[in-house]
Structure 1
């Protein structure tokens, strides 16, 4: 028979549970306060985030120039000007044609979903339930709005997020200062902090910068490869709107897993509406082949260190970010999750006991003869 509960152990367990619950509530409260403060400061934080992301892309050429004797300000100025020229050329050569064809892209997606509805309502599926029809209508509206939003972000960039030109100019100025004075930041930060914080905070900041840079540069490179190969395949098959679809593929590459599925879905729908089932299946095969190359060849080669995040964590982060902040949240979800992982790994390292070094066995004494 089971014995009666020990009152001392019971009270101790209740006190421990109450203390842990209170501490958890306090942590959640402080997290909510911090998020609220960040939301109030979003007009400043968003240009800062954009500047950091751009700096991760433009820092390698600045570092290369500085190693060859260039002054920090001169190297940062040259790379910033070159970045602006590349950005302007991209707007003229790509964004303008994409903007002119974006209504066709959105209508093509809508027509493709209508084709799928008609096919699903006929044999052999014979789906005619009102709830299914309502769900398809909802998906139709959401995808149409999403395509418009993504094309909008692609065409107008940062300037659509917060007050347009002010945000873009502020982000560019911040990028220049980050490129010029970036290596001085961590030593300066260490001098400003007291005690152990002078070591912990710069260490976490340095690791976070390395992780963020690896993510942004690898995603940009892999997205460019995806856009080139998929765009080339669409051009060979004869699918219209090749340029908008290639740009959409590049942009959505910054949203792992979900972005590739969305861009592939849009490309297949356009091929279905314009060229029929045969070409749609060919486009689907091309996209699957390119995605397999990306997952098995491109990503391991480019992301040598990776983010250390499981695919399920990435998927949940993208879903949560999209539900909280739309497309911006989806774009920033994975980098934020990776930075949280960096912070957690460092805290775990500091709280873990050091692994004891093995003690060498003492040689056995040999008895004297």
Structure 2
């Protein structure tokens, strides 16, 4: 069988017996000789050969519409050299089951990967949250003439100074109080022995004898040693997580513009401008929430430090820093800080503890009804019920981190709801 070649001539695209017969005499040499019957037979043979070649070529090449012959063969228009293709396996039970099994396996592997990297993902989300929150301060420094590099350096240096100051203010008093407690422990035990109620309970239940046996046994040492190792592991993990968050925050803050630009480019061009406007507004609200929350905590810490210094409560700086940090936690943070400050005040004297309790109650009312609404009104305008529900759900999912992230996320959802969902529903 001869190798097919592209047909030529006026009847190449749509060959027919008439066209083939018409092309036959043209293929004959101009000076051909022979009998008329032989010439007619040669012309008919040449025409039949050309038609066969054109049919073979049509099976291999594209037709005039640019469609491959293989796809036309799948539709049954032509038959290739290897026969008509069979029915597709799209609806075959084996193909369906295999595809479904691959889908389930992929979903299971994805869930396992997310579960294994949950702690890392939380650190990344917290770092991104802090980077967005620190971005307004960087922007303001840029508006004052600093370059973005120097603005980021200044803001990040302030953050590091705060954490170092917190450690310097809290760790020494904690170590001192722990040492004092260990030193005074025998005296505390002696006071318990001289107490009439404790003495009566000891005579009835032999509490001191059991305590002495427990202290002399090796169980206490093993438990204390294990507890110290567990506490050391928690401290090391917390320090590592804090350093990781600081480093990630620095990198994310430096590349925040490029990250947002890349995210907007992933959106189709027809919707990119609207998505960019909504995204910038969400970032602005999250940054405003973080900045406002930090400002409220700063006011709480400074006010607490002034009061505790006047009341001569020990470790006023450490307590004010604890109050400032716990005030960042929605709903329960201020109560935790107030409880710690009041408890230390009670150790000084009963009147001092009562004065601390009254101060924290009055200040919380001022913060809740005067300070926080004025600061948060310009950044995050979320109804009180939504704030409480979001904080509860976030705390149930991710603990303190979830409670911190819940309110700005609720603000972002509210923005998308009012700007996208509700107008679309009103048009239909």
How would you bin the TM-score normalised by the shorter chain? 0.5 to 0.7
| Counterpart Cα distance in 2 of 1:218 and 1:287 | 20
| Counterpart Cα distance in 2 of 1:38 and 1:205 | 25
**1:1-21: CA deviations, max 9, x gaps?**
xxxxxxxxxxxxxxxxxxxxx
Q: Secondary structure at the match of 1:223?
A: helix
**1:308-347: CA deviations, max 9, x gaps?**
3333332333333333323222322322332332333333
| Counterpart Cα distance in 1 of 2:412 and 2:374 | 22
Q: Secondary structure at the match of 1:240?
A: coil
Q: Secondary structure at the match of 2:426?
A: coil
Is 1:213 aligned to 2:291, yes or no?
A: no
Q: Are the aligned partners of 1:227 and 1:247 in contact in 2 as well (CA < 8 Å)?
A: yes
Q: 1:296 aligns with which of 369, 382, 393?
A: 369
Counterpart of 2:129 in structure 1 is: 53
Q: Once superposed, what is the RMSD of the aligned Cα atoms?
A: 3.6
Q: Secondary structure at the match of 2:374?
A: helix
Matching of residues 348-363 of structure 1 within 5 Å: 348-353=421-426
| Counterpart Cα distance in 1 of 2:404 and 2:112 | 20
Alpha-carbon distance, 1:37 to partner: 6.9
Counterpart of 1:316 in structure 2 is: 389
Is 1:235 aligned to 2:313, yes or no?
A: no
Counterpart of 1:177 in structure 2 is: 255
Q: Are the aligned partners of 2:133 and 2:289 in contact in 1 as well (CA < 8 Å)?
A: no
Q: Number of aligned pairs?
A: 268
Say if 1:322 and 1:94 are closer, same or farther in 2 by CA, change over 3 A: same
| Counterpart Cα distance in 1 of 2:130 and 2:392 | 24
Matching of residues 37-186 of structure 1 within 5 Å: 40-42=116-118, 45-67=121-143, 75-102=147-174, 104=177, 160=238, 163=241, 165-178=243-256, 182=257, 186=260
| Counterpart Cα distance in 1 of 2:339 and 2:162 | 25
Say if 1:100 and 1:305 are closer, same or farther in 2 by CA, change over 3 A: same
**1:249-290: CA deviations, max 9, x gaps?**
1112222221112211222222123321x2222112211222
Q: Are the aligned partners of 1:189 and 1:198 in contact in 2 as well (CA < 8 Å)?
A: no
Matching of residues 221-260 of structure 1 within 5 Å: 221-260=295-334
Alpha-carbon distance, 1:36 to partner: 7.8
Q: Are the aligned partners of 2:138 and 2:155 in contact in 1 as well (CA < 8 Å)?
A: no
Is 1:282 aligned to 2:355, yes or no?
A: yes
- Bigger relative contact order (CA 8 A; separation at least 6): 1
| Counterpart Cα distance in 1 of 2:410 and 2:259 | 23
Say if 1:34 and 1:226 are closer, same or farther in 2 by CA, change over 3 A: farther
Q: Secondary structure at the match of 1:95?
A: helix
| Counterpart Cα distance in 2 of 1:240 and 1:296 | 30
Task: Give 1 or 2 for the bigger CA radius of gyration.
Answer: 2
Is 1:328 aligned to 2:404, yes or no?
A: no
Counterpart of 1:23 in structure 2 is: none
Say if 1:208 and 1:324 are closer, same or farther in 2 by CA, change over 3 A: same
Alpha-carbon distance, 1:218 to partner: 0.6
**1:278-304: CA deviations, max 9, x gaps?**
222211221122222222332233223
Unaligned ranges ≥5, structure 1: 1-31, 109-151, 356-369
| Counterpart Cα distance in 2 of 1:298 and 1:203 | 30
| Counterpart Cα distance in 2 of 1:100 and 1:220 | 25
Alpha-carbon distance, 1:188 to partner: 4.7
| Counterpart Cα distance in 1 of 2:242 and 2:261 | 34
